[in-house]
Amino acid sequence: MTLAQEIMELARWAPSGDNTQVWRFEFLAANRVRVHGRDTAEELVVFDWGGIPSLLSMGCLIETAVQAATLQGCRVDVNWLPDPGPHRYLFDLAFRHDTGIAPSPLAVGITTRSVQRASLSRRALRADEKQALVAAAGEFQLIWLEGKQRAATARLNYNFAQPRLTMPESFHALSSAIDPDPHARYSHDRMPAGCFPLDPLSRRLMLWALQSWPRLHSLNTLFGTALTRLQLDLLPGLRCAAHMALIAPRLPCTRADHVASGRAFQRVWLTAEQLGLRLQPEYTPVEFCRHVHHGLTITKIASIQNRIERLAADYAKLLAPIPEQRCLMLLRLGEGPAAPARSLRLSLADLTVLSSSSSLKGNS
């Protein structure tokens, strides 16, 4: 393997929304890779508005490459190139040996870091743990949501999950993200059903319902969503050390802002991993509230749209006096075992494209 391949072999473990792995790699030289990125705004619509979550993921990839490169004593130069088309991105990563670069202690967590969606310890975070996470965030700020605010955040996520599960606009995002095998503990390109903390019957029902929108709609109408949300959102939200909001230093607007946000997010996540803390992103409130802030319609169902708008006000209250638009990610965290089921990644060979022209097919 070349130097660039060694580094990208590790960097491919970067997290991405729903494990979409919105990148393909074109190895240009032993020390240089061209990343062909894409966003999923056209497919996932409200769940990747403006391609922002995909750009966060690309920031995670860059940060992971930077951390992985330290193991080779290398620094990384990032060079963005003109977009090859709508929803497409191109950037080069060049790796240069530098005697000033020591192996980063965060790099060991690159492959073990994984979402833990189940209950975690309620032990409060120690001051040294908070300090390490704050240092990792750099110019980004962390807000701790503990005690009563932990319960308020759990309730907020529980409430936001109702529109997420019941609006027709969610169906494609939900059904394409989850591996339909009820026994799957691993998935190379999606999320295995086993990574969701659901009782076996609810898991089977969820997978059955995700086969078609009429099924999901009938299930929601017959049984409601309370039991699913209780297991996925409320209980884990109450059973954790804290929730945490990652706050940008200014309103994130540009591509560079979103990529920098992704880099900070991944630094914090790898630091949590180093501390033995598990973490789960809680992105739905962030995403939905961005739409509300911009006056956009999330769903054609007026009653659900109204509900989301009311919930957006609760979210703003939770983060006040910080303007909620500066929150780039909401997370829950705490001590706990690694998740028994997790997303894996496509192999480096599968992620590799030979030239710019073949990348468009490979990355669809």
Ligand X SMILES: Cc1cc2nc3c(=O)[nH]c(=O)nc-3n(C[C@H](O)[C@H](O)[C@H](O)COP(=O)(O)O)c2cc1C
Residues that bind ligand X (CB under 6 A): 15-19, 53, 56-57, 60, 114-115, 117, 191, 280-284, 342-343
Give the C-alpha separation, 58 to 318, whole Å. Answer: 28
Give the C-alpha separation, 45 to 172, whole Å. Answer: 10
* 98 phi-psi bin (left φ>0, alpha ψ -120 to 50, beta other): beta
| CA dist list (Å): 57 to 10, 60, 125, 246 | 15, 5, 27, 15
Q: Which residue has the closest beta carbon to ligand X?
A: 15
Give the C-alpha separation, 343 to 178, whole Å. Answer: 10
Rank residues 74 and 191 by Cβ distance to ligand X and give the closer one.
Answer: 191
**Cis before 192? omega within 30:** no
Q: How far is the CB of 213 from ligand X (least distance, A)?
A: 21
Rank residues 32 and 38 by Cβ distance to ligand X and give the closer one.
Answer: 38
Amino acid at 224: G
Rank residues 2 and 119 by Cβ distance to ligand X and give the closer one.
Answer: 119
Q: How far is the CB of 196 from ligand X (least distance, A)?
A: 8
Give the C-alpha separation, 179 to 338, whole Å. Answer: 20
Q: How far is the CB of 18 from ligand X (least distance, A)?
A: 5
Rank residues 74 and 247 by Cβ distance to ligand X and give the closer one.
Answer: 247
Q: How far is the CB of 204 from ligand X (least distance, A)?
A: 20
Q: How far is the CB of 262 from ligand X (least distance, A)?
A: 7
* Assigned token pair, 154: 């759990």
Rank residues 43 and 101 by Cβ distance to ligand X and give the closer one.
Answer: 43
Give the C-alpha separation, 311 to 157, whole Å. Answer: 10
DSSP, collapsed to helix, strand or coil, labels residue 12 as: coil
Q: How far is the CB of 342 from ligand X (least distance, A)?
A: 5
* Assigned token pair, 258: 């979103």
Rank residues 39 and 74 by Cβ distance to ligand X and give the closer one.
Answer: 39
